[in-house]
């Protein structure tokens, strides 16, 4: 008897408090153009946005000093990044590089530069993330003749190096290819840290890059890749290698399959593969809020350098991965011109900082977009093959509004190969039972 292929479907609905009907065109999904000032890098719960050269706050852009570039922002609006001291390197003892940056913090118009540890052989330091206590993580750089980097914590005026010294999980040096090793990318208010560390391979004959989570003195190796962000409860997101593409000839190394992941921080579970958008084969998660909603980017990256990266799109993950471009209302005047490429931050109100391109000036712009705070559980539904003419057992998807604002609920729809057996609503969520 003929059987058809397995299918994976994502059933999406928008839930309010709970009213059914056509989705209403409200300001929730309004796209705000911050201008040709990309990249946007992060956002706090007050809606303040850190960009490379600007702070966006209360509807206005403020330029940073010319010798400072921003990287991260905390809950009270302090921006961490790197600055070049006038007339010197960082640390003061200098090095062979003509100009080297220092960790710096910009706050309320004042720039504070931290000169580093003169007793070390660091040539420079970069700050990448800052928590509400002023603890900073980032990376240090050795002199140019060595060219190494290392993850670093700067707390109460003391620099501490971070990273693994024991062999990692990846079996050979080709398990991942993420560029220079050793970065601490994010720190939360509990002092937990997410980053990327170079580790010896299992055979100790090479090195690979591993995503790490650091909490209360304990390092957890999440797997080959990079941990790029974490939320207040220690959930970690980033990019991991989930397999590889075999090389076309022995002259090539395997091409890694890189997908966005979420890890619960407990050490008891493996990282969850978030997959990609339908048009992509690689993805990267850049931020997660307290409701476990994730944003990032998905694209098609040809294996083995076989061509340019295509189909780049910003995504929103709430149990299923959704293209953020679909959240721009048809009535929005920017809709015909804007393509959202990557999302770098999401706050607890669902406000997302996204980078994109405006087709009218071909420039990179930063945008703010309000995402609907809807969680979908258990996520994509995978139905097994069934004999033609038969019906599968039903599966249930639950849609929960985790935000504080009501969102009008449109009709639940599935493709022609599936039927909705029942719909049920109960505040604050709705259930749909689907059969194939």
Note the pLDDT tens digit of each residue in 182-233: 889 999 999 999 999 876 666 655 567 889 999 988 888 898 899 999 999 9
pLDDT band at 6 (very low <50, low <70, confident <90, very high): very low
Q: Is 12 or 137 the better-scoring residue by pLDDT?
A: 137
Q: Is residue 87 part of a domain?
A: yes
Identify which of 112, 115, 135, 131 has the alpha carbon closest to the alpha carbon of residue 123. 115
- Specify the pTM: 0.83
Is 360 a domain residue?
Answer: yes
Coil, helix or strand at residue 345: strand
* Residue among 132, 135, 126 at smallest CA distance from 101: 126
**Number of domains forming the structure of the chain:** 1
**Stretch 319-329: mean pLDDT:** 93
pLDDT digits (tens, 9 = 90+) for 149-188: 788 899 998 888 887 666 555 654 444 443 445 889 999 9
Spatial separation of the C-alpha atoms in residues 134 and 276, rounded to whole Å: 35
Distance between CA atoms of residues 18 and 208, nearest Å: 49
Whether 416 is covered by a domain: the verdict is no
Residue 278 counted as domain residue: yes
Report which of 311, 254, 261 is spatially closest to residue 284, judged by C-alpha positions: 261
Confirm whether 21 is domain-assigned. no
Residue-number span of the structural domain to which 232 is assigned: 30-382
Q: Is pLDDT at 431 greater than 90 in this prediction?
A: no
Kindly report which listed range (135-144, 335-344, 396-405) carries the lowest average pLDDT score: 396-405
Lowest mean pLDDT among 95-99, 201-205, 316-320, 350-354: 95-99
Sheet holding 79-83, edge to edge: 68-73, 79-83, 102-107, 110-114
Residue 13 has pLDDT above 80, yes or no: no
Structural domain includes residue 401: no
**Residue 409 within a domain:** no
What tokens were used for 64?
């940073």
Cα–Cα distance measured from residue 413 to residue 281, given in angstroms and rounded to the nearest whole number: 26
Does the structure show a pLDDT above 90 at 35? yes
Q: CA angle at residue 410 from 409 to 415, to 5 degrees?
A: 135
What would the DSSP string read from start to end of 143-185? -TTT--EEEEEEETTEEEEE---S--S-SSTTS---SS--EEE
CATH number at residue 133: 2.130.10
- Structural contact between residues 166 and 200, judged by C-beta atoms closer than 8 angstroms: yes
Reply yes or no on whether the pLDDT at 8 is more than 50: no
Task: Measure the CA–CA gap between 169 and 134, rounded to whole angstroms.
Answer: 33
Tell me, yes or no, whether 245 lies in a domain: yes
């Amino acid at each position: 008897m003929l059987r058809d292929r397995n299918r994976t479907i994502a059933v999406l609905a928008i839930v309010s408090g709970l009213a059914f009907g056509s989705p209403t065109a409200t300001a929730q999904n309004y796209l705000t153009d911050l201008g040709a000032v990309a990249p946007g890098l992060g956002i706090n719960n007050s809606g303040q946005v850190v960009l490379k050269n600007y702070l966006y706050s209360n509807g206005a852009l403020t330029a940073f000093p010319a010798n400072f570039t921003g990287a991260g922002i905390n809950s009270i609006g302090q921006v961490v990044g790197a600055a070049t001291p006038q007339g010197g390197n960082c640390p003061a003892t200098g090095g062979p590089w003509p100009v080297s940056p220092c960790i710096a913090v910009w706050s309320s118009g004042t720039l504070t530069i931290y000169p580093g540890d003169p007793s070390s052989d660091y040539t420079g330091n970069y700050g990448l993330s800052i928590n509400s206590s002023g603890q900073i993580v980032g990376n240090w750089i050795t002199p140019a003749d060595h060219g190494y980097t290392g993850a670093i914590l700067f707390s109460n005026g003391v620099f501490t190096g971070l990273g693994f010294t024991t062999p990692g999980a990846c079996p050979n040096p080709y398990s991942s290819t993420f560029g220079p090793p050793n970065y601490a990318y994010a720190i939360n208010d509990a002092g937990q840290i997410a980053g990327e560390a170079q580790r010896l391979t299992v055979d100790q004959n090479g090195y690979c890059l591993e995503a790490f989570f650091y909490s209360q003195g304990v390092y957890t190796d999440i797997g080959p890749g990079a941990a790029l962000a974490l939320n207040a409860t220690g959930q970690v997101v980033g990019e991991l290698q989930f397999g590889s593409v075999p090389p076309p000839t022995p002259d090539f190394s395997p091409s890694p399959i890189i997908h966005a992941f979420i890890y619960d921080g407990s050490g008891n579970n493996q990282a969850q593969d978030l997959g990609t958008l339908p048009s992509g084969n690689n993805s990267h998660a850049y931020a997660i809020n307290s409701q476990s909603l994730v944003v990032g980017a998905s694209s098609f990256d040809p294996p083995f350098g076989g061509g340019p990266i295509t189909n780049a799109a910003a995504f929103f993950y709430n149990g299923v991965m959704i293209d953020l471009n679909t959240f721009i209302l048809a009535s929005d005047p920017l809709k015909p011109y804007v393509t959202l490429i990557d999302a770098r931050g999401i706050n607890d109100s669902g406000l997302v900082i996204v980078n994109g391109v405006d087709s009218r000036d071909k420039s990179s712009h930063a945008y703010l977009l309000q995402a609907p705070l809807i969680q979908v559980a258990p996520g994509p539904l995978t139905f097994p093959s069934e004999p033609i003419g038969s019906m599968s057992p039903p599966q249930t998807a639950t849609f929960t509004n985790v935000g504080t604002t009501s969102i009008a609920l449109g009709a639940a729809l599935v493709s022609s190969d599936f039927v909705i057996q029942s719909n049920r609503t109960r505040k604050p969520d709705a259930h749909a039972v689907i059969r194939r």
